[in-house]
């Protein structure tokens, strides 16, 4: 799910107050969402897949010169109205001092 509305981003940043404040200042934030698994093995696979996806999104953003960062979701009540949000990735801030960029 992609969130771009400023008011929505400000509210979404509250999902992890200690580490997600940068979400409010992003141009967009991608929320990875899925149904909550009742099976521990499938839950673990999902969290692994979300971690891999997050890493690749961060790498792709860096390759394009787009600043990005990730955030956990501690408070599901502040997350998008979905079954479960597990990870937030903000995109759209400038990649300052990135080697190879002008």
Q: What is the pLDDT of residues 8-39, one digit of tens each?
A: 888 888 877 777 788 888 888 888 888 777 88
Q: What is the pLDDT of residues 43-58, one digit of tens each?
A: 888 889 989 999 999 9
Pick the CATH number of 2-94 from 3.30.2420.10, 3.90.420.10, 3.40.1190.20, 3.40.109.10: 3.40.109.10
pTM > 0.85: no
In the chain, domain spans: 2-94
DSSP string, 61-81: HHHTTEEEEEEE---GGGS-S
Cα(31)–Cα(14) distance, integer angstroms? 13
């Amino acid at each position: 799910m992609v969130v771009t509305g400023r008011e929505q981003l400000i509210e979404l940043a509250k999902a992890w107050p200690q580490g997600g404040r940068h979400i409010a200042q992003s141009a967009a934030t991608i929320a990875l969402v899925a149904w909550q698994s009742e099976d521990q093995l499938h839950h673990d696979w999902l969290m692994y897949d979300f971690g891999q996806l997050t890493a690749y999104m961060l790498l792709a953003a860096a390759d394009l010169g787009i600043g990005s960062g990730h955030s956990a979701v501690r408070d599901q009540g502040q997350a998008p109205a979905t079954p479960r949000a597990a990870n937030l990735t903000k995109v759209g801030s400038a990649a300052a001092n990135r080697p190879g960029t002008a």
